[in-house]
Amino acid sequence: MLGCVSILKRWFTSGWEAMIDRLKAHVGYSLQALELIQQTIAKPDVTEDYLDEIVRKIAAIEREGDEIIRRIDDNISKGALVPSVIGNAELLLDRVDNILDNIYYISKEIRRGYIVWRNDNIRKIIGGKFREMLDLDRTIIEYVGAMLEKTRDLEFCSRYARMVSTLEEEVDEVKEYILDEVYKLNLSAVEFNHIISLIYSADRIADNAQDAVQLLMSIISAI
């Protein structure tokens, strides 16, 4: 009986470790995609062709991310995880995938609306506080990756989970600041919607990352 339990434990542990390895790759893709967005924002003048290429690159990255999630889902359906953590594991996959999806959305929104960056007020927000939001998002994603590297160290993961929570609150504060500033400006509907779409997408990156961290903590505490 003990031998059977030991075999099952090794089986489920190997399934969890395989899932973690794939999630680390997915987080790496999110960082790659976000880096392309940050480079675009830092560029003094962007062209339609340049943005088309950025969107194509991020679309390719996003497809790779989707494939990772599909493979993990397949493994879960084949019994790679203990039943007690499957629910949280599925939610974790969703939140991690949402991070990359929102980065992809930002790239498309920039491609659609970059023309309004000619407005100095818009450009100031993009190059200032919005860029700050993305910098915070990047740090949060890096912390998620760090936790995935050390899922066996509960104390380490708990500390990083707290730091992610603090950074998510900072993202919220920056979002609120931008909203206050935007409503003071005499923007067209297109300009207003462009900025709002960008800041809420950046906010969702942080929200989904925090959710992912909480789910990860629940899983590693149970395994």
Q: Are 103 and 29 in contact (CB under 8 A)?
A: no
Q: Judge whether 117 and 194 are in contact, CB under 8 Å.
A: no
The amino acid sitting at 219 is: I
Binning pLDDT at 50, 70 and 90, where does residue 4 land? very low
The alpha helices in 78-188, defined as continuous H runs, are 83-113, 120-125, 131-149, 154-184
pLDDT digits (tens, 9 = 90+) for 100-149: 999 999 999 999 999 999 999 999 999 999 999 999 999 999 999 999 99
Q: Which two tokens stand for residue 155?
A: 């104390």
Whole-number average pLDDT of the chain: 92
Residue 14 pLDDT level (bands cut at 50, 70, 90): low
- Name residue, tokens 């929570």: 165
152 contact partners, CB below 8 Å, separation of at least 6: 220
**pTM for this prediction:** 0.92
**In the chain, what are the domains?**
2-222 (1.20.58.220)
Query: Residue 7 has what pLDDT?
Result: 40
Q: CA angle 142-39-203, nearest 5°? A: 50
Structure confidence at residue 70 (pLDDT): 96
Structure tokens at 79: 């019994």
9-31 mean pLDDT:
83
- Which whole number is the average pLDDT over 24-35? 98
Q: Are 182 and 122 in contact, with CB atoms under 8 Å apart?
A: no
pLDDT at 2 over 60: no
Question: Using DSSP, how many helices (H) and how many strands (E) does the chain show?
Answer: 7, 0
Structure tokens at 86: 């499957």
